[in-house]
Amino acid sequence: METRTALVTGAAQGLGQEFARALAARGCRVAGLDARKQPETAGHIADYLELVADVTDEAQVADAVEGVIDRFGALHILVNNAGVYPACAFEDTTVEEWRRVMRINLEGPFLVTRAALPHLKAAGWGRIVNIASAAVFTAPPTMVAYTASKSGLIGLTRALAAALGPYDITVNAIAPGMTRTDTAERTVGADGGFERVRARQIVPRTEEPRDLVSTLLYVVDEGSGFLTGQTLNVGGGSAYI
């Protein structure tokens, strides 16, 4: 895929960093977009384009996507990975927090996809991958806002797939389980979240970022053009217990 250009949001750490590195190893030219600088990601990828932007800011997103075109001349793969997942009882969730989660997790992919779409159409080939969550299927009671936002992202995936099929652009979602990242350790790991999730899984270990790589590469592969509108649940079987 050395002729393909990929844009990954939330690329500074965790899954985004793992996805950026995997796409570069597959031969893609890679740009990473994050609200903060990405020295660790950039240090692992040659010719990496680091874009600092807020996915909820329409103007910043537009400038970032134009930066990809200026640098690489085209865009073929978009991975909407940036997201937040605060744990909070529903009755303690403020309107401001609800809106923040929806803006980052759902409006962000909308804005980035809308900015990228003219370039995917111009390329005549595209892959859009939205990172959802197995929480949509397991419905953790302390993550109502997060689960609602990721459910919306799956709906966006299905509707966009129907709209973009005629342009040879596929749209799919990947739904990870609770994955061991620095952010997850801080937000849900400290109170035994990993242990509770692991107890519900068929695969009896904690998910790592590398566990998602093969699924991502499958979805964006040249030969996966007949796969679209789907949500691939990669949660160690947690949704089936």
DSSP state of 92: G
Q: Which of 36, 18, 216, 31 is nearest to 131 (CA)?
A: 216
Of residues 199 and 125, more confidence is placed in 125
What share of the chain in percent tops pLDDT 90? 78
- Residues marked active site are found at 146
Asked whether residue 240 is domain-assigned, the answer is no
Question: Confidence class of residue 183 from pLDDT cuts 50, 70 and 90?
Answer: confident
Q: What is the DSSP string of 42-63?
A: HHHSTT-EEEE--TT-HHHHHH
CATH of residue 221: 3.40.50.720
190 pLDDT higher than 60: no
Strands 126-131 and 77-80: what pairing? Answer: parallel
What share of the chain in percent tops pLDDT 70? 95
3-state SS, residue 38: coil
> Can you give the pLDDT at residue 191?
61
Q: What is the mean pLDDT of residues 110-122?
A: 98
The stretches of 27-107 forming alpha helices (DSSP H) are 39-44, 58-72, 95-102
> Can you give the pLDDT at residue 240?
56
Q: How many domains does the chain have?
A: 1
Asked whether residue 241 is domain-assigned, the answer is no
Distance CA 23, CA 6 (A): 7
pTM of the model: 0.93
Q: Choose the weakest-confidence range: 83-97, 163-177, 218-232.
A: 83-97
Asked whether residue 118 is domain-assigned, the answer is yes
Average pLDDT value over all residues in the chain? 93
Q: Which residues contact 63 (CB under 8 A, 6 or more apart)?
A: 53
Domain limits for position 19: 5-235
Judge contact between 26 and 50, C-beta under 8 A: no
Q: Hey, what are 235's tokens?
A: 């949660």
State pLDDT tens for residues 48-95. 999 999 999 999 999 999 999 999 999 999 999 999 988 889 999 999
> Can you give the pLDDT at residue 241?
45
Q: What is the mean pLDDT of residues 33-48?
A: 96
Q: Choose the weakest-confidence range: 51-55, 120-124, 177-181, 214-218.
A: 177-181
Distance CA 209, CA 58 (A): 29
Question: Confidence class of residue 189 from pLDDT cuts 50, 70 and 90?
Answer: low
DSSP state of 235: S
Distance CA 10, CA 112 (A): 12
Asked whether residue 32 is domain-assigned, the answer is yes
